[in-house]
Structures are given as C-alpha cells and as structure tokens.
Amino acid sequence: RRPRRTRPQITVPDLVHDLIERRLEELPLDRDALKLGMGQFGDDFDLERFREAFDARDPEQRNRARLVTANLQALADGIVELVREAATVTGLRPAGRRPEANPDIEAVRADGCLTGRQASELIQLKKLANDIRHVYVTVTADDVHAGVDRLLKLLPGFMTAYRAWLGEYGVSLR
C-alpha cells in the first residue's frame, strides 16, 4: 500500500507541530458531536427522520438537522486541514504554490499516506462540506446522510495512516 522508501527527517516548527496535534485531538470530539447530532434521528440515524428535519420549514426542526451538517463540515474540514498542513511541512507542495486542498490531497496520496480511495472520498467530502457551507439548495438530506456514513468510515483509517506516515518523516505525535 505504501511505497517503501526512506523519507527525509524533517523538523516541524513548534507552532505547526502543536497545531497538528490539536487538530488530531479535535477530530474525535468533532466525531462525537456528529454522533450526538445523528442520535436525534434514532440509534441508526434514520434517513426518513433526518430528511423530514432537513427539509422542514420549521426552524426548530431545521436546527436539529443543522447539528448534523455543521458537525460533518467541521470533521471534514479538520481532516482536509491536516492534509494541507502535512503537504506544507513535508515539502510535498511545490515551493511558491499556495495551499489548495485537492492538489495537497493528491500529493499526500502519492507519497503514501492515503490510498486512492481515501483521497477520492476526502475530495468528495470536502466538496460536500463546501456545498453545505455555501447553502447550495442542491444538497439533499440523502447527500448528507451518505456523506456522514462515508466520513465516519474514513476517519479511523485516516488517523492511523496519518500518524504513521508523519512518523516516517520523524514527526512524533501524541
């Protein structure tokens, strides 16, 4: 899965190292907040119940759905930011190129941190989070429901691979 090669040992500025560690600590909290939001719609995050709240014309119902969308967004954004920070500190982003999520995700994938499937999922989840952020009316409850499922499946493998991959560069994380 991961290319076998020796990676250069890098020195990560304390500020960036602390930022990465804090983001990694926040992901489980954001995951748990997402699960709390999902729990309003039954133990199995019932799609029909979620759809009713998501499409409701009642602010109280809509707010219930927004707990899910906002937490999905926070979790997806946190993962993307970790990838962008990793592309910066490892030198995978070419000098002078501004941070951009999709090329950074691809660079981190090509270096062995993510599988092709994980990278593709992350790009799709980033797009969904952006669409939610900009309140595109094309986002449906079904899109969010499926995105939540995909995101929760992606998270454990991502966290394990991310820590191990940065470790190959000599970056130790808690």
Give burial (CB, 10 Å; 0-12/13-18/19+) of 23. middle
Contact 103, 130 (CB under 8 A): no
pLDDT at 132: 94
What are the pLDDT tens digits along the chain (174 aa)? 555 578 888 888 888 889 999 999 999 999 999 999 999 999 999 999 999 999 999 999 999 999 999 999 999 999 999 999 999 999 998 878 888 899 999 999 999 999 999 999 999 999 999 999 998 789 999 999 999 999 999 999 999 999 999 999 999 888
Give burial (CB, 10 Å; 0-12/13-18/19+) of 129. buried
Cβ-proximal residues to 33 (8 Å cutoff; 6+ apart), any chain? 67, 71, 74
Helix axes 141-168, 59-89, angle to 10 degrees: 20
pLDDT at 141: 97
What is the separation of C-alpha 133 from the centre of its chain, rounded to a whole number of angstroms?
A: 14
pLDDT at 78: 97
d(CA 18, CA 23): 9
Contact 72, 129 (CB under 8 A): yes
pLDDT at 63: 95
- Angstrom CA distances, 70 to 35, 62, 107, 171, stand at 12, 12, 28, 31
Determine phi and psi for 114, rounding to 5 degrees. -115, 150
Q: Say what the pTM is.
A: 0.92
pLDDT at 28: 97
